Amino acid sequence: MAVVKLQRPKLNFGEKIYFGALIKGFFLTMTHAVKSLRGKSVGADELASSGLGVTMQFPEQRWDEHLPEYYRGAPTLVTDEQGRERCVSCQLCEFICPPKAIKIVPSEIPSDDPWVKVEKRPLEFEIDMIRCIYCGMCEEVCPEQAIYLRKDYLITGLKRADMVHDKKKLYEIGGTRAGLVNKWNELK
Amino acid sequence: MPELIFQIAIIITKIVILTFMVVLPLVPVSVYFERRFSAVIQDRVGPNRVGIPLTLLGFKKDFHLFGLIQPIADGLKLFLKEDFTPAHVRKAFYWMAPALTVVPALITVCVVPFGSPISIFGHTEKLVIADLDIGPLFVFSVASLSVYGITLAGWSSNSKFPFIGGVRSTAQMISYEIALGLSIIPVLMYYGDLNLSTIVQQQADHGWLLLPLWGHDADHTFISKLLFWFPAAIAFLIFTISIFAETNRMPFDLPECETELVGGYHTEYSSMKFAMFFMGEYAAMVIGSALIITLFLGGWSIGFGADAWVSQLHIGDFYFGGLIHLGCFMTKLIGFILFFILVRWTVPRFRYDQLMKLGWVVFFEAALINVFLAALIVAAPQLEKTIIGVGAVLLVIVTAAVIWVAKVSEETPKVLRA
Amino acid sequence: MPSYLFWLFSTVMLIGGVSVIAFRNPVSSAMSVVTCFVGLAGLFIGLSAFFVGVIQILVYTGAVMVLFLFIIMLLDLKDEEKAAKPLLPIAAGIALVAAFMVQLIGILSRTPDVIAPNLDKESLAAAASGFPATSKIATTLTQGKLPDVHLIGHTLFTDYNLPLQILGVLLLVATVGVVVLSKRQAE
């Protein structure tokens, strides 16, 4: 490796006594302070600041409408247009999930059900949101496009049990997703 | 005997009010200002939430109070934390050290004049706990004791980084005490008095040391005051910067330099013992600001000749001018604390050798020359013109010699070998 | 000074002095010296010698003892904590103390047993006549206060001017010597 010898810069008298730089520094910090108090800091508009600095103040202001399209929030289950649960409990997501947050208990679809040809559905589907790392692998691996990462980011609870999303909760957040592959549909 | 009890009652009242109700609350207030001001400088918001939590009691809205309750919440948190004493420390000194940093800082409060005398029912009382005739010296001597707290904390922790922090602090504080003491000699020469109350009274009558714009008379001509402004300004500069070093504040906070020493001398401390160090640092900052204001910026004086009029304000027998002066003093104090904070968030930390060089090579010499300059200016009216001329020439020669020596010693840095 | 304050500060001093030799740990001993000095400063201040008392703390406690402590800590003396008692040093110490005591008794028995003058308003005002009427010392004395700082300065710069200057030169020589020595070692 080549050695680069650096020449220390030759300081003139003004730079040596250090005062000019000090005054400049005071001006810089005070400009920031004044701008920040007036809500005119650089980037305040883009970041939708609260009027003090560039910070958005959370419970009153939310960044919901500023979320990008590709935002990865809580993983959820979705139903299709006919209200059928898309998940066929193949357990691929359970298998790929890096922190092992997903737990599926598969079951058979009873023979009197209109969707009997799908054969399987989850009896229980739980995602432990304390474990979930929002990586999106479950969404990626799902052959049925049944699991989606939605934009919900406020996952809170007072106890551990609150943080486990069961099937009901997952469908509640996920809702219906239209215009996907209609693998099991008669239309196909 | 009733006389004695009355005296003691007044002294205790003054201690309780001035130390525990005026200065001590300034510590959390300055912590709050530190956090808010630094946040504003860095385009953030800072603590603005903690207030009166009325929603807990079923009301609709909380009072945020701009987060002013935050320091109290912080203090409470520190109080409730586990007070952990590591097994390897030297117990007695480990326990003593935090007290040794806080107590000296609070003792120095007793000579600071907070306002002009208050008079009630014909009884006049000065707004200073102990009106000593050796004010600044008392402050220096007691403040110099606080170095023990830091040194012992570093040593008794029995661990590398705290020890280095303690050693740094000791060397730094001893070095800057010299510049600190020398720099105010011109001021004391000018006033001819060591009593801080008298010094402030003189400033109220004849103009602040750094703002001599009113109260001219035969003894205090405008020209002489203007001439003395220069040594006063140099003294102010050296004194202020030395106070920064003495209180271990940025840019001289090498004893607790996080990047090099983990937490510095208080690495091994937790809970209230850590809080004591924290308090000691801020209390020292408050006292340092109070001293600077008292010596250079007129203390409680409002200025522009308004002080005599304010002192005469009264309702019946109650002369309350002193309270207005107290308010003025507090305003200046908070203003100066804000300046301390601004400096902390503006100036980067010095390197240790730069710090020592600044103290010994620059400030020590500058303060010494400043003493002679001030002496020449103070004595000039009584001296003959030739003597003044000779003195001035000598002063210039000495200054040039000192600058030359400093420059020569800087040019050829010797490689140090063990 | 009220006598109970005298007893308080002398007790502090004595406790400090005894614990200097009683403690085996050098740092504890150094801190005992500090306690002793603080008690001494209290005694000075009680005798209206404010300046001397404060300088006692500022110089000895705040600077000299800190340096002592500093060096003791850096040396990290472990051997001192052992309870080794060689006979010769103890004998020498006792002899030194005895000699000092004899000297002290000699001096104390010769000094006439007079009470120090009362520092009340009349005696102070009377003392003011020895100074120029407009001087700071005279005005303070007539107010009934003791201008101890000004008096010390006055005495130093009039009666002992030459010794003071010689002392200053001596200290300067010592300082220069230290600088030269430390520079030579560095090369």
- Minimum distance, in Å, between the CA of residue C54 and any CA atom of chain B: 6
- Minimum distance, in Å, between the CA of residue B48 and any CA atom of chain A: 10
- Minimum distance, in Å, between the CA of residue B164 and any CA atom of chain C: 10
> Does residue B263 form part of some domain?
yes
**What radius of gyration do chain B's Cα atoms show?**
24
Q: Do B141 and C149 lie within an 8 Å CB cutoff?
A: no
- How many CB contacts within 8 angstroms connect chain B with chain C? 72
Q: Do B43 and A53 lie within an 8 Å CB cutoff?
A: yes
Whole-number Å distance between alpha carbons of B414 and B410: 10
> Which chain B residues are closer than 8 Å to C54 by Cβ?
134, 137-138, 141
Per-residue pLDDT of B228-269, as tens digits, reads: 888 888 899 899 988 888 888 878 877 777 777 777 788 888
Whole-number Å distance between alpha carbons of B307 and B321: 8
HSE (side-chain half, CA atoms, 13 Å) at B117: 11
Q: Does the structural domain A67-174 have CATH classification 3.40.50.920?
A: no
- Total domains present in chain B: 1
* Cis peptide, bond prior to residue B251, ω within 30 of zero: yes
Name the band, by pLDDT with cuts 50, 70 and 90, for residue C162: very high
> Does residue B238 form part of some domain?
yes
pLDDT of B416 higher than 60 = no
Mean pLDDT of C49-73: 85
> Does residue B379 form part of some domain?
no
Name the band, by pLDDT with cuts 50, 70 and 90, for residue C174: very high
Name the band, by pLDDT with cuts 50, 70 and 90, for residue C11: very high
Whole-number Å distance between alpha carbons of A113 and B197: 96
Alpha helices in B108-221, H assignment, sequence order:
135-156, 160-183, 185-191, 196-206
Domains of chain C: 1-85 (1.20.120.1200)
pLDDT of B326 higher than 90 = no
- Minimum distance, in Å, between the CA of residue A5 and any CA atom of chain B: 19
Whether the CB of C52 is below 8 Å from some CB of chain B: the reply is no
- Minimum distance, in Å, between the CA of residue B382 and any CA atom of chain C: 15
> Does residue B262 form part of some domain?
yes
DSSP string, B200-225: HHHHHHH-BTTB--S---SSS-HHHH
Q: Do A22 and B40 lie within an 8 Å CB cutoff?
A: no
- Residue C95's pLDDT is 93
pLDDT of C46 higher than 60 = yes
Whether the CB of C55 is below 8 Å from some CB of chain B: the reply is yes
pLDDT of B14 higher than 60 = yes
Whole-number Å distance between alpha carbons of A105 and A113: 19
Whole-number Å distance between alpha carbons of A169 and B2: 78
> Which chain B residues are closer than 8 Å to A52 by Cβ?
40, 45, 48
Whether the CB of B346 is below 8 Å from some CB of chain A: the reply is yes
Give the pLDDT of chain A (188 residues) as one tens digit per residue.
Answer: 688 888 888 877 777 777 888 888 889 888 888 888 888 888 777 777 787 888 888 877 888 778 888 888 888 888 887 778 888 888 898 899 999 999 999 888 888 887 777 788 888 889 999 999 999 898 889 888 888 888 888 888 899 888 888 888 888 888 887 766 666 766 55
Choice among B46-50, B392-396, C13-17, C157-161 with the minimum mean pLDDT: B46-50
Q: Do A32 and B42 lie within an 8 Å CB cutoff?
A: yes
Query: Nearest residue of A to residue B343 by CA position?
Result: A26
With 0.80 as the threshold, say if the pTM is over it.
yes
Whole-number Å distance between alpha carbons of A117 and A114: 8
- Residue C163's pLDDT is 92
Sketch the domain layout of chain A as residue ranges: 18-59, 67-174
Per-residue pLDDT of C88-144, as tens digits, reads: 888 898 999 999 999 988 888 877 767 777 777 777 777 777 777 777 777 777 777
> Does residue B181 form part of some domain?
yes
pLDDT of B414 higher than 60 = no
Q: Report helix angle B271-296 to B26-41, nearest 10.
A: 90
- Minimum distance, in Å, between the CA of residue B123 and any CA atom of chain C: 19
Share of chain B above pLDDT 70, in %: 97
Query: Nearest residue of A to residue B345 by CA position?
Result: A29
Cα A65 to Cα A46, A61, A75, B201, distances in angstroms? 13, 10, 19, 62
Whether the CB of A47 is below 8 Å from some CB of chain B: the reply is no
> Which chain C residues are closer than 8 Å to B92 by Cβ?
28
> Which chain B residues are closer than 8 Å to A54 by Cβ?
43-44
> Which chain B residues are closer than 8 Å to C148 by Cβ?
133
Cα B404 to Cα B73, B214, B370, B371, distances in angstroms? 55, 40, 17, 19
The position carrying tokens 């598969």 is: A106
Of B40, B345, B346, the CB nearest to A53: B40
> Does residue B292 form part of some domain?
yes
- Residue A180's pLDDT is 66
The complex's ipTM works out to 0.79
Whole-number Å distance between alpha carbons of B73 and B65: 13
> Does residue B386 form part of some domain?
no
> Which chain B residues are closer than 8 Å to C187 by Cβ?
414
- The size of chain A, in residues, is 188
Range of the domain at B338: 85-352
Mutate to test the interface with A, among B35, B36, B41, B43 (most CBs of A within 10 A): B43
Per-residue pLDDT of B102-141, as tens digits, reads: 888 888 888 888 887 777 777 777 778 888 888 888 888 8
Q: Which residues contact C148 (CB under 8 A, 6 or more apart)?
A: B133, C48, C49, C50, C51, C52
Q: Which residues contact B153 (CB under 8 A, 6 or more apart)?
A: B94, B97, B98, B101, B162, B166, B265, B266, B269, B277
What does the DSSP 8-state code read for residue B349? P
Whole-number Å distance between alpha carbons of B327 and B324: 5
Q: Do B45 and A41 lie within an 8 Å CB cutoff?
A: no
